[in-house]
Structure 1
Amino acid sequence: MSGENIECWLTDMDGVLVREHEALPGAAELLEQWRRQDLPYLVLTNNSIFTARDLSARLRNSGLVVPEDRIWTSALATATFLAQQIGPESNAAGSAYVVGEAGLTTALHEAGFIMTETNPDYVVVGETRNYSFEAITKAVRLINSGARFIVTNPDATGPSPEGVLPATGAIASLITKATGREPYIVGKPNPMMFRSALNRLGAHSMHTAMIGDRMDTDIVAGMEAGMHTVLVMSGVSSQASIAAYPFRPNRIIDGVYELLDEPWEQDSES
């Protein structure tokens, strides 16, 4: 079933549609169902490293067809938020010093921002595999000089084949410790990211569902944004972890294949 009165869908990526670059059961069919029914949807990710075009190609390699205009990253949400903060009435372009990768710098450029190390309006920290002491030092000094501190997402660690890696939230904490300044964080679990996605679709939260695999990001942010929430058990959540939270999703399913209108049958060759 697609969900009563659900006209739009937001879905997390990792743990919902893919796991370690492999499409999860029913993911391709669900995307096709939304396309066939002409239902607006966006695939969300807190990862700010890649552009939407990059992610579209990576998903295609996993067997999932997701056009780049159907992908919404924390980098795009951050750029949208900062453009709104500068405001259309401003005659000058906003400026930013960025610690991050192409996904973030491209989004900010396309939102009209200038990248600079000289008196920027914002210091924006996102995901990167190349954090440098020099860049972090520059960020600390610019924030101390009055630049506003923005972070794309709060994730403290990220995965790798060798184990966890320090991620955006960990570096942001280092900068906070050095400056005494807390950042504004745009990505999940801030419902701001979901509201910007809804604005992108021209959708209303009352008729939109959020599918995620994490209670502490996807479900709580979806709930706070006023959406119908669907927790899938194909990612990091377990029944024990659900019980640890004082709130509940509207629906719990084993995988996205349960959202198909027709019963899902695994390919006999898989």
Structure 2
Amino acid sequence: MGRLDYPLVVFVAADFDGPAPHRPNPRGIELSTNNIRSWLTDMDGVLVHENKALPGAVELIQRWQARNTPFLVLTNNSIYTPRDLSARLRNSGLEVPEDRIWTSALATAAFLKDQTPAGKAFVIGEAGLTTAIHEAGFIMTDADPDYVVLGETRSYSFDAITRAIRLIGKGARFIATNPDATGPSAEGPLPATGAVAALIMRATNREPYIVGKPNPMMFRSALNKLGVHSEGTGMIGDRMDTDIVAGIEAGLHTVLVLSGIADRAEIERYPFRPKTVIDSVADLLE
């Protein structure tokens, strides 16, 4: 058998128009090498957990890199720049170049640049978001901005939130990087973008446009960055309500891993289904 140019992946035979080779494993999963040629993957719960690499993650990233498989690691976290996240993943044992990381901050900046090139924005967030918006050619100001952009930060300022409410009241369009209501900390949950967005929404009666998951916009912008088509791309995630639903809506082959948030009982709560369910990304290496 000749050398394979793309990785071993999981598939459902009904996805193919013609007959496909069958190699059922003990879990009843069928394996093929001729369907998925590019990958998007969530980070937390899929590749890492509490700053430790999950089973199969190191080997999967190495395989993709060795075979020049297009891939991006996605996260709704808008605090960190890709360089920061690359360093954090390296500390977990994963070598992921910064150009292989796609954040909700980058997706938001790409969306704003497409909507209003060289626009102005009042931004609440940290380096991951402010750097992305600056590099997209935006001016960050509180003087008659086109947008109020809300991201995640370790310490929300009441003064900044008040300013955002007043600017939205004067006509600035309201954008949020992601809908996550809380974020983790050593002491317990912290209020995150979704919670603060709800406060501003209640004060202004304006709903934000949310760019990050579960909006499939984030996946489409990732596909554009890779220069690939949804038909040959897989999405690996650990959440039914963000990764899987957004992957389905973006037309991707969805793979749910049970190494993070979701379990098999969780799947039954939703009217949609992932194409494939596996214990961890280690199953993609079999």
Identify the TM-score tier after normalising by the shorter chain: over 0.9
Give TM-score, length-normalised by structure 2.
0.88
Q: Specify the alignment match of 2:9 in structure 1.
A: 2
Q: Partners in 2 of 1:181 and 1:53 — Cα distance?
A: 34
How much does 1:161 deviate?
2.0
User: How do 1:16-165 residues align onto structure 2 when only pairs under 5 Å count?
Assistant: 16-87=46-117, 93-165=118-190
Q: Partners in 2 of 1:75 and 1:226 — Cα distance?
A: 22
Equivalent position amino acid for 1:2 in 2: V
Q: Partners in 2 of 1:162 and 1:242 — Cα distance?
A: 30
Q: Specify the alignment match of 2:261 in structure 1.
A: 236
How much does 1:158 deviate?
1.0
User: How do 1:172-211 residues align onto structure 2 when only pairs under 5 Å count?
Assistant: 172-211=197-236
Count of residue correspondences:
256
Secondary structure of the 1:124 match is strand
Q: Partners in 1 of 2:192 and 2:61 — Cα distance?
A: 29
Equivalent position amino acid for 1:203 in 2: V
What percentage of residue pairs aligned between the two structures are identical?
A: 72
Deviates more, 1:159-168 or 1:190-199: 159-168
Q: Partners in 1 of 2:263 and 2:216 — Cα distance?
A: 23
Deviations 1:225-265 (A, max 9, x none): 000000000001011111100110000000000011xx4xx
Match of 1:212 among 230, 234, 237: 237
1:258 matched to 2:283: yes
How much does 1:44 deviate?
0.1
Give TM-score, length-normalised by structure 1.
0.94
How much does 1:169 deviate?
0.2
Equivalent position amino acid for 2:62 in 1: E
Equivalent position amino acid for 1:221 in 2: A
Deviations 1:145-164 (A, max 9, x none): 11000000000111122221
RMSD between aligned alpha carbons?
0.7
Equivalent position amino acid for 2:52 in 1: E
5+ residue gaps, structure 1, are: 88-92, 264-270
Equivalent position amino acid for 1:211 in 2: I
1:225 matched to 2:250: yes
Q: Specify the alignment match of 1:268 in structure 2.
A: none
Which structure 1 residue ranges, 4+ long, deviate > 6 Å from structure 2? none
Equivalent position amino acid for 1:12 in 2: D
